[in-house]
Amino acid sequence: MTDPLSEVIALLQPKAVFSKGISGAGAWGVRYSDFGQPSFCAVLEGRCRLAVDGQPALTLEGGDFVLLPATPGFTISGFEPVTPERVDPKVAPAPKGEVRHGRRGGRPDVRLLGGYFVFDSPDAALMVSLLPTVVHVPGVARLSTLVQLVSDETSEQRSGRDLVLTRLVELLLIEALRSTSSGDTPPGLLRGLADARLAPAIRQMHRHLTRPWTVAQLAKSSALSRSAFFERFTRTVGLPPMEYLLDWRMAVARGLLRGQELTITEVAERVGYSSASTFTAAFSKCVGQPPGRFARAGGHGPRRHPSPGQKGWKQS
């Protein structure tokens, strides 16, 4: 059975890069500027405050896990008033050993294990736009265990390290995203998969990408009327069903074209187009250049973003 969440994680191609221990005591706070790459944090013990730009502030407790798929600017701190230290993660050198903030001596108020990784896919922005800005999962022991395994693996140069880290980060992402409460997530793929009526339609689109789907057919798989399905899908996922299907087909097509192992006609057939010309027209409109040129350029198309207020996937 095709699993849409697993497909999205696979296309993102996560690679682990760095992890570190962090502790704080007394009056402390750090303001990190926008990073753009995914980051994560597990609270090993104690409590702290996390304020992500544009999101409600969170109190993090021991056992909590936080994932920021695109890491906007944020402040992490204790609970005493303080002017936070400013850090630009894009230029700051990677620290060695545990980083201590605030009062130096004595037992810390909080201990965390944090880190960041990269999404290797040039289509990362496209997929990340369907994920929540902040994924906060309280008290899931499996996530803390995975974060500890990532930390152990990054601290040593053992055989197979890169492959182990890649698999651990994939597990970390899937475990975090599927542990998220659907009621707390904004419109996107997670909320759609958590909807018992919409999930069958989403899985059908992923499982049978080559079918000439219509809204009526997808509505039938969800046991909803055409109009009720269209409204519910758009409200829950954040874009209309046919637009979601088109964007997913184009994401898969870009991945196939980067491999440079298939002809344009073969790629067209794999993503549900009956002719290369129809596929070329759709691809050019969506990506900004014909598929042949995209493949010759190594799979790097022009950057295009939705207009203000438009709900859709960012294009890479």
Instruction: Report whether pLDDT(16) > 90.
Output: no
Helix axes 241-259, 226-237, angle to 10 degrees: 60
**176 and 232 both lie in a single domain:** no
Q: What is the pLDDT of residue 277?
A: 96
Confidence grade of residue 299 (pLDDT, cut at 50, 70, 90):
low
Q: With contact defined as beta carbons under 8 Å apart, do 70 and 38 qualify? A: yes
Confidence grade of residue 282 (pLDDT, cut at 50, 70, 90):
very high
Query: Measured between alpha carbons, how far is 19 from 117 in angstroms, rounded to an integer?
Result: 9
Q: What is the pLDDT of residue 148?
A: 87
More confident residue, 147 or 76: 76
Query: Measured between alpha carbons, how far is 84 from 64 in angstroms, rounded to an integer?
Result: 22
More confident residue, 164 or 97: 164
In a domain, 313, yes or no: no
> How many angstroms separate the first and last alpha carbons of the chain?
29
Number of folded domains in the chain? 2
Instruction: Report whether pLDDT(80) > 90.
Output: yes
Q: Average pLDDT of the chain? A: 86
**126 and 20 both lie in a single domain:** yes
Q: What is the pLDDT of residue 307?
A: 31
**What's the mean pLDDT in 24-40?**
93
DSSP state of 216: H
**106 and 155 both lie in a single domain:** yes
Of the candidates 284, 282, 279, 285, the residue with the CA atom closest to the CA atom of residue 267: 279
Of the candidates 165, 168, 194, the residue with the CA atom closest to the CA atom of residue 179: 194
Q: With contact defined as beta carbons under 8 Å apart, do 115 and 20 qualify? A: yes
Domain of 21, in residue numbers: 4-180
In a domain, 216, yes or no: yes
What percent of the chain lies above the pLDDT cut of 90? 52
Contacts of 305 (CB under 8 A, 6+ apart): 314, 315
Instruction: Report whether pLDDT(285) > 60.
Output: yes
Of the candidates 116, 125, 135, 205, the residue with the CA atom closest to the CA atom of residue 175: 135
Query: Measured between alpha carbons, how far is 44 from 298 in angstroms, rounded to an integer?
Result: 42
More confident residue, 43 or 303: 43
In a domain, 252, yes or no: yes
Residue 13 vs residues 8, 86, 155: alpha-carbon distances, Å:
9, 30, 22
Q: Give tens-digit pLDDT for 82-129.
A: 999 999 988 877 777 789 999 998 999 999 998 888 888 776 776 787
**27 and 176 both lie in a single domain:** yes
Instruction: Report whether pLDDT(203) > 50.
Output: yes
**203 and 150 both lie in a single domain:** no
Of 147, 180, 213, which marks where a domain is finished? 180
**97 and 154 both lie in a single domain:** yes
Instruction: Report whether pLDDT(36) > 60.
Output: yes
**174 and 244 both lie in a single domain:** no
Query: Measured between alpha carbons, how far is 65 from 40 in angstroms, rounded to an integer?
Result: 7
Residue 247 vs residues 1, 55, 284: alpha-carbon distances, Å:
21, 27, 13
Instruction: Report whether pLDDT(26) > 80.
Output: yes
Q: What is the pLDDT of residue 302?
A: 55
**29 and 162 both lie in a single domain:** yes
In a domain, 60, yes or no: yes
CATH number of the domain bearing residue 54 = 2.60.120.280
**What's the mean pLDDT in 144-167?**
85
User: CA 211 from chain center: how many Å?
Assistant: 27
What is the value of pTM for the model shown? Answer: 0.74
Q: What is the pLDDT of residue 120?
A: 82
Burial of 97 (0-12, 13-18, 19+ CB in 10 A): exposed
CATH number of the domain bearing residue 281 = 1.10.10.60
In a domain, 40, yes or no: yes
3-class SS of residue 300: coil
- 33 phi and psi, to 5 degrees? -75, 165
Instruction: Report whether pLDDT(295) > 50.
Output: yes
Q: What is the pLDDT of residue 112?
A: 93
Q: What is the pLDDT of residue 301?
A: 58
**149 and 56 both lie in a single domain:** yes
